[in-house]
Amino acid sequence: MQATADHALERAWEVLESVPDPEIPVVSIRELGILRDVRRAGDGQIEVVITPTYSGCPAMSQIAEDVARALDAAALAPYRIATTLTPAWTTDWITDEAREKLRAYGIAPPAVDHCGNCGSPPRSAEQPITFVAKPKPLPAPACPHCGSKHTERLAQFGSTACKALYRCIDCREPFDYFKPY
């Protein structure tokens, strides 16, 4: 935020904070950590910075389109949309509020894997985005329906590549798990 009020920038933040994720419409791209910044570029143009989630996620072009549509609707053109890959997106950027929304929506939110000493995510910013699962076996996520930890994985990929399909052994409901990344 600049010291002097920049109403166009404030307006841009406002409209973009309500742009939903195309795959999970209950959470916004801001809450998922995809929307990184809205700022004035050197030439004075509004610049929106987004970071792709998984490199294989087909939703990214959709997100850029949704961002453009929201800015156009608010008459905020001209603007540009910049994509940055560093630091690489991580599920740790998902806000606590969004985790609750995911759970309420029936998706188990990704486990948070913070460093016990400094509280920051364990992965370095330089790590490139690659489309591989974490090497160590993941602890079973809790069922978003009944909270039971008694769950089993049915498939590595759920409704999208970003999620795995699980089933609760107690309430027998299947659910998507947003894989930590």
The nearer residue to Zn ion, 123 or 145, going by C-beta atoms, is 145
- Cβ contacts of 39 within 8 Å, gap of 6 or more: 9, 46, 47, 49
Q: Tell me the closest approach of the beta carbon of residue 181 to Zn ion, in angstroms.
A: 24
The nearer residue to Zn ion, 8 or 171, going by C-beta atoms, is 171
Q: What are the CA-CA distances from residue 52 to residues 32, 62, 134 (Å)?
A: 11, 11, 18
Report the SS3 class of residue 57.
coil
The nearer residue to Zn ion, 30 or 103, going by C-beta atoms, is 103
Q: Tell me the closest approach of the beta carbon of residue 172 to Zn ion, in angstroms.
A: 7
Q: Tell me the closest approach of the beta carbon of residue 144 to Zn ion, in angstroms.
A: 8
The nearer residue to Zn ion, 89 or 178, going by C-beta atoms, is 178
Q: Tell me the closest approach of the beta carbon of residue 31 to Zn ion, in angstroms.
A: 24
At 178, give phi and psi (nearest 5°): -75, 105
The nearer residue to Zn ion, 121 or 174, going by C-beta atoms, is 174
* Radius of gyration, alpha carbons of the chain: 18
With residue 158 as reference, give the H or E element that holds it.
none
Q: Tell me the closest approach of the beta carbon of residue 92 to Zn ion, in angstroms.
A: 25
Report the SS3 class of residue 70.
helix
Return d(Cα 179, Cα 133) in angstroms, integer.
8
Question: Are 169 and 101 in contact, with CB atoms under 8 Å apart?
Answer: no
The nearer residue to Zn ion, 112 or 146, going by C-beta atoms, is 146
Return d(Cα 4, Cα 143) in angstroms, integer.
47
Which residues of this chain interact with Zn ion, rule CB under 5 A? Answer: 143, 145-146, 148, 168, 170-171
Q: Tell me the closest approach of the beta carbon of residue 146 to Zn ion, in angstroms.
A: 3
